[in-house]
Amino acid sequence: MNIPNYISLARILAIPAVVAVMLTDFRGHDLIACIIFTFASLTDWLDGWLARKKGMVTVLGQLLDPTADKLLIASALICLVALGRVPAWAAIVIIGREIAVTGFRAMASSKGINIPASAFGKAKMGSESWIIGAIILGPIYLGKFYVVAKIGLWLVVALAIISALEYFIRFGPRIISQQAE
């Protein structure tokens, strides 16, 4: 294990804290949950940057990093559904996209095809982190701007669908043609 992998692991270990603070009602819990979630989200950028800059990209890191991202996002969304801040259908679309794209990438990998993150995929992840963080922060802290976060959720859902379609359209024919061989 190297430093970027430890950072990814720290993101996974932050998830129980995010969940516990989000679902425990005490004064300031939304703010604390948002801070933990934001810190954990920023480690996604940090571990990737460090791994590339220092030449520490590993197979473990390539598995651990996206797994940590998906676990963090899915956990926060499930809590936000439980709190009534995110509709279940939106969480299902976003989490379902993650599962579908992960499965698609695994199938591609088994055929020797690497599917790098696309611009839409990166935009989805970035906007997802900021919007979910804002929704965690909640209406008490955001006031009138909370509605912007709720509208932003629609953007995240749209980017989830668009980025999934992009992967399937760009790489699907290659994978299917190799499947037939």
What are the tens digits of pLDDT across the range 70-117?
999 999 999 999 999 999 999 999 999 999 999 998 888 888 888 878
What is the rounded distance in angstroms from the CA atom of residue 155 to the CA atom of residue 142? 18
CA torsion 43-47-50-52 (nearest 10°) is: -140
Higher pLDDT, 154 or 179: 154
- The pLDDT assigned to 121 comes to 84
Domain ranges within the chain, ordered by starting residue? 3-176
Which contacts qualify for 23-27: CB closer than 8 Å, 24 or more apart? Answer: 23/79, 23/82, 23/83
**CATH number of the domain at 3-176, please?**
1.20.120.1760
> What is the pLDDT at residue 54?
87
Whole-prediction pTM? 0.91
Where residue 1 falls among pLDDT bands split at 50, 70, 90? confident
- What pLDDT score was predicted for residue 45? 87
pLDDT digits (tens, 9 = 90+) for 15-55: 999 999 999 999 999 999 999 999 999 998 898 888 888 88
